[in-house]
Amino acid sequence: MNDSYLNSMASLSSSSSSSFLFFFSFSIFLASSPDLFSVYAKSHNLTHSSSLTPINYHLYHSSGNLMEEIRNLVHRHPDKLNMETLKGGNKGYDTEVAVVTYGKGKSQNDERSKFRILLSFGQHGRELITSELALRILSILSEEQHLPTVDHATLNGTLGKLVIKVVPMENLNGRKLVEAGDLCERRNGRGVDLNRNWSVDWGKKEKDYDPYEENPGVAPFSEPETQIMRKLAISFDPHIWINVHSGMEALFMPYDHKNITPIGLPLQRMKSLLEEVNHLHCHKHCMIGSGGGSVGYFAHGTATDFMYDMVRVPMAFTFEIYGDGTASSKDCFKMFNPIDLSSYNRVLNDWSAAFFTIFKLGPQQLGEIHSKALDKLVSIDDYLDGYLMERRNRYGKKMEVLELGMQEIRTYFRLFLLSSVLLLFMFCSRISKGKRPIVSAIPL
């Protein structure tokens, strides 16, 4: 070897040694300060997917397997369960929502005479544990599984007075994105948060608004999933609504978009029921209150606020059934879902029992079933949207109801009302001007 080569090798060796010593020392410094290491790792893209918890398919069903198991369950128990698939779509985006109904009477008139409960699971794709709970509840309703602490005869007596509709997976398209690897996805298949797409206080954005987390869509009910759920809620007219989520452990009542709860008797009824559930099944550590006042941020355009204010559901709740506060914000499967068998079974056992407590105590809290038809006000927008969706689904036409068309219908209707009022005003004014004082023909 020549001298120049040996000199260059020596120089390189010295440089490498210096670099090694620098990075070794820097690593020790970062290790002594975890917070600083976290900042450094994020800024240098040192966090990678290998540190994230994957979906545990030894515990969890895939979306396809879960829905297939529910279909088989319904097929085995036609005397207790039936299932329908509601389809919708617009602007090239299609979806379907499965609805399972528990009830021993098959006619709609029989449904109307009973206490009605509507439950929705899987509204956010990443919250897999909620749909597992839906399957467990349906298995208990079919009597293929049992609650160990509940008397069988008493349970049958309670359930005989109820009609329960269960939506096991409201956001099927979003769930498929999660299963494809986007473990933090909560929105639907085209990037809209379904729990921000309802009309009550829709579209307002807080200072910390994150479109990835809270995109409300281009308009209230722009998404087929929320259109389907609205139509279902208005037609079923439930006495109790529960929207089931994960991320923490909490029992929320209205409101999500402001820091107040309902007042008077409605508050007493809801709070009493939630306190009983917290005592019996949540080990007294579930947060109770309004979503907006308890969770630390306001949520605008949520399903529960719409159910309470617009559908006039007497008891409207959001349940949060699990959360791992120690998980990284990027480790979404671990944050929103139990990852070991013991925690998985505990969540399903505790919360399935909690729902059957709701089934038992809910009707007692509300007293006798009463019709809410006279005190319910459905807006012309809700009526027209629901009517057009029903017509499209009934006849199976492959057509889209465009927002522009809906706006024109609403505009014409409002112009008609305005013109009617103006014509009435003009008519009354002419009558008033046509009246003249009577002049006496007899001289005084």
Active site residues: 320
Q: Which residues contact 162 (CB under 8 A, 6 or more apart)?
A: 102, 103, 114, 115, 116, 117, 359, 363
Element (H, E) at 209: none
Residue 296 CB burial class (10 angstroms; 0-12, 13-18, ≥19): exposed
Residues contacting residue 62 through CB under 8 Å, at least 6 positions apart: 179
Greatest Cα pair distance in the chain? 145
* 215 neighbors 251 (Cβ within 8 angstroms): no
End-to-end CA distance of the chain: 145
Q: Specify the DSSP element, H or E, that contains 84.
A: strand 81-90
State how far the alpha carbon of 175 is from the alpha carbons of 95, 188, 242, 358, in Å: 12, 8, 20, 27
Strand partners, 251: 288, 319
